Chain A
Amino acid sequence: MKRLKLSKNAKDNLITYGIVILAYVIMQIMINTGHISSLLQGLLVPLCVYVILAVSLNLTVGILGELSLGHAGFMCVGAFAGAFFSRYMQNVIEVSLLRFLIAIIIGAVSAGIVGFLIGMPVLRLRGDYLAIVTLAFGEIIKSIINVLYIGKDSSGLHFSMKDSMSLGLAEDGDVIINGAQGITGTPKDATFTIGIVLIILTLIIVLNLIHSRDGRAIMSIRDNLIAAESIGINITKYKLMAFSVSAALAGMAGVLYSHNLSSLMATPKNFGYNMSIMILVFVVLGGIGNIRGSIISAVILTLLPELLRGLSNYRMLIYSIVLIVMMLFNWSPKLINLRKKYSLRRLFKKTGEVR
């Protein structure tokens, strides 16, 4: 009888999906039997957010091979677009799941569009220059949202960039986005289950994209731009594709994030470059281009500081040290040799073979 033969890639992907589903089942059992602290339970949705962010940033950093430090900015766009929609429609669409699904789509699409618009001029740059410009754009997005005022009343929507008074709302008016005070009263629609579904959706999009014609084109640009051009691959198109898909997924994570909080503000802490760099640390720690690694490192690095509560003041310090150590571990020839010598893969496989 002919056995169903899976390619190495398919097997690899199945393991990744399996890990996520297994983690979900274990957590569900623990929640239902009460073996989980309320602290950890409160962390479940943020965990999903960080996993999605790490996986989506890995698409830009690992697969496209461009360093982006503005990922929190795209998350910010998604968070505010989604939260705005939910607040606006709170009394119109009563079914919270449906409203949340539409909010997710709106958040992802708006972040994707912003990613596309920023990507067009920015992706002409490479390396350090691109990193710095994306960093700047991330900060710009945050700053714009900090001075944005949107309110609604019976006559429709009102916009302002000055203050909530200049919106000129009628008696029945309601300020939805209140500048630096952000959005308050977003319905808490995000649940762990939806988070896991979104993680799996992200994985399907990213993994299937990588192992397709488009993914090959994106990776060929990463490996050798001139050669990719010489075989007729449209550099601009595929760079933009990877960058905007990555931004859209970050926007999706943002929607999840904003629907887990009752008040959403664009502070440096949640949408600033600290956040962008934290996501980058997840990606680097998990291995650039390694999707499964991103998931695992995002989970560990989110849980660790929270579980060691006393150390949480030193969180950024720990991240910095971990980043330095990992960089050395990834780049020092001696350590690379050591790693190769003791890697599990080597023990089971002939050298030279991959995947």
Chain B
Amino acid sequence: MAALLEVKNLGISFGGLRAVDDFEVSIKKGQLYGLIGPNGAGKTTVFNLLTGVYKPSEGIITLDGVNITGLKTIEINKAGIARTFQNIRLFKELSVIDNVKAGLHNHYKYATIEGILRLPNYFKMEKAMTEKAMELLKVFELEKEADYLAANLPYGKQRKLEIARALATEPKLLLLDEPAAGMNPNETMELMDTIRFVRDSFDMTILLIEHDMKLVSGICEELTVLNFGRILTQGATGTVLNDPQVITAYLGE
């Protein structure tokens, strides 16, 4: 079966600094893939390259057979990649449900004038959006907090809301940037279940960056290890985590 995401020879330089060099990965549909590495290895830079925040200096990114290299962030989102952020980026002054509805923006459309004049299509579409958003919130057990301001949610729920918002854009590939950061062990366990559930029920392909090795070894099927912007090793989770090179990179000589 052809890969959903195919990255070849991806690289970027910031001035003299080679942040990512010759990055390659191939992720099959429905896979749970992990991207790990020490701090400053270039993991988030890879995410920013995949989502068009940075334009790659070289390399080709193909999503589901379509070349998306060098496209703008919104075009890449429309092509089917959605992401969450390492430092949570919610729409803090919007309600929880409006955060998800903002994610539905490109899937439920009506004209501006229909919104201002409150024509029937406005009510129809808003109702459909609310229903869809509530459905997503239920998956993440956020339906009770639907009318809260996003800023007032506890940390763990903010992370979940960010995933819900990303899923609202109906992506083919979901990128999670350190989803377990700042969570206690219980919350992390819960998050692992949620991620697995998302993969199974939404038929989603997930690429995640994570430092929590329990989470990585618990849910990721394959891993890529980055160090100083280069691939250190790649392969099945069990093999990679026992690789002496990886242990050296993390713990030093």
Contacts and interface: CB of A to CB of B under 8 A. Distances in A.
A179 B82 CA distance: 55
A217 B117 CA distance: 18
B102 A220 contact: yes
Contacts of A353: 147-148
Nearest to B149: A354
Nearest to A241: B112
Contacts of B115: 208-209, 212-215
A213 B109 contact: yes
Contacts of A34: none
Interface residues of A, number: 32
A224 interface: yes
B131 interface: no
Interface string A253-288: 000000000000000000000000000000000000
Interface string B66-106: 00000001100110001101000111111100110111011
A114 to B, nearest CB: 20
Contacts of A233: 74, 102, 105
A223 B91 contact: yes
Contacts of B169: 231-232
Contact of A231 (B82, B92, B95): B82
A216 B125 CA distance: 14
A223 B94 contact: yes
A28 interface: no
Contacts of B101: 213, 216
B71 to A, nearest CB: 12
Contacts of A352: 148, 152
Given A217-B102, A220-B94, A212 B112 contact: yes
Contacts of A235: 74
B17 interface: no
Interface string A1-16: 0000000100000000
Contact of B94 (A205, A208, A214, A216): A216
A91 interface: no
B94 A213 contact: no
A101 interface: no
A128 interface: no
B41 interface: no
Contacts of B89: 224, 226-227, 230
Nearest to B162: A227
Contacts of B51: 230
A316 interface: no
A234 interface: yes
Contacts of A229: 73-74, 77
A136 interface: no
B216 to A, nearest CB: 23
Contacts of A213: 101, 105, 108-110, 115, 125-126, 129
Interface in B104-128: 105-106, 108-110, 112, 115-118, 122, 125-126
B192 to A, nearest CB: 24
Contacts of A354: 95, 147-149, 152
B77 A230 contact: yes
A351 B98 CA distance: 19
A219 B91 contact: yes
Given A216-B102, A230-B51, A223 B116 contact: no
B93 A223 contact: yes
Contacts of B152: 352, 354
B43 interface: no
A355 interface: yes
Given A229-B77, A231-B82, 10 more contacts: A213-B108, A216-B94, A216-B105, A220-B91, A223-B91, A224-B92, A226-B53, A229-B74, A232-B74, A232-B106
Interface of A: 8, 204-205, 208-209, 212-217, 219-220, 222-224, 226-235, 241, 289, 352-355
Interface of B: 51, 53, 73-74, 77-78, 82-83, 85, 89-95, 98-99, 101-103, 105-106, 108-110, 112, 115-118, 122, 125-126, 129, 147-149, 152, 165-166, 168-169
20 contacts: A208-B118, A212-B115, A212-B122, A213-B125, A214-B112, A216-B105, A219-B93, A219-B94, A223-B92, A226-B53, A228-B91, A228-B102, A229-B73, A231-B77, A231-B102, A231-B169, A233-B74, A233-B105, A235-B74, A354-B95
In order of increasing CB-CB distance, the 8 nearest A-B pairs are: A212-B115, A232-B77, A227-B89, A223-B91, A229-B73, A220-B102, A224-B89, A220-B91
